[in-house]
Amino acid sequence: MSASSSSSAGTAVILDAERINRCVQRIARQILEDHHGAGRIVVAAIEGQGRVLAGRIVNELSSISKAETHSCIIRMDKDAPLDHPMELVSTDNGPFDGANIRGAVTIVVDDVLNSGRTLLHGVAFILPFRPHHVGTCVLVDRIHRRFPVRADYVGQSLSTNLKSHIAVELSGPGPDAALLTD
């Protein structure tokens, strides 16, 4: 399946499983290139498909780097992040010691960057843990920001209209894909 083929009326595949894998590999290599001297890298996933994407980035980083690599999940209500407390948990659903973030290169990961609100709140939540550096990563950047945030690591940038929807499917039941629906 090509990256721009249609799977049904009004829906186009913008990233298929092969391209998603290549994006993950490229993102991991870019992180290492930018932070080659880092002793610790923490990948903090926004709950949802960001968690799956972050897990793949951590696996790739672990296979190509000697840096100590950790991962965690930022749980938040994406629709109303200020109305509900956020929580930092380990990838195995246990408590996560925020001290792992102190002094570490920390990359906040989500699947799609649309308005920027979710990613901005994720970064703001990480800052009190005093990371050495904070970066952001998304699989798809829609370039429709309403908030002052950008992704440092991007799988695919895509200019869409505001009525379009991008769905990232990384955790089954079908094949991995990023889909654009008008």
The 10s digit of each residue's pLDDT in 85-95 is 888 887 765 66
Q: Give 154: exposed, middle or buried? Use CB within 10 Å, 0-12, 13-18, 19+.
A: buried
The token pair that represents 151 in the structure block: 């992704």
Look at residue 175 and tell me whether its pLDDT is greater than 70: yes
| pLDDT band at 28; cut points 50, 70, 90 | very high
Class of domain 23-158: alpha beta
How many whole angstroms separate alpha carbon 94 and alpha carbon 150?
A: 30
Which amino acid, one-letter code, is at 104? A
What contacts 113, CB < 8 A, 6 or more positions away? 119, 136, 138, 140, 141, 142, 145, 149, 150, 151, 154
pLDDT in tens, 86-139: 888 877 656 677 888 999 999 999 999 988 899 999 999 999 999 999 999 999
* Residue 74 to residue 55: CA distance in whole angstroms: 13
Which strand (E) or helix (H) includes residue 156?
Answer: strand 153-157
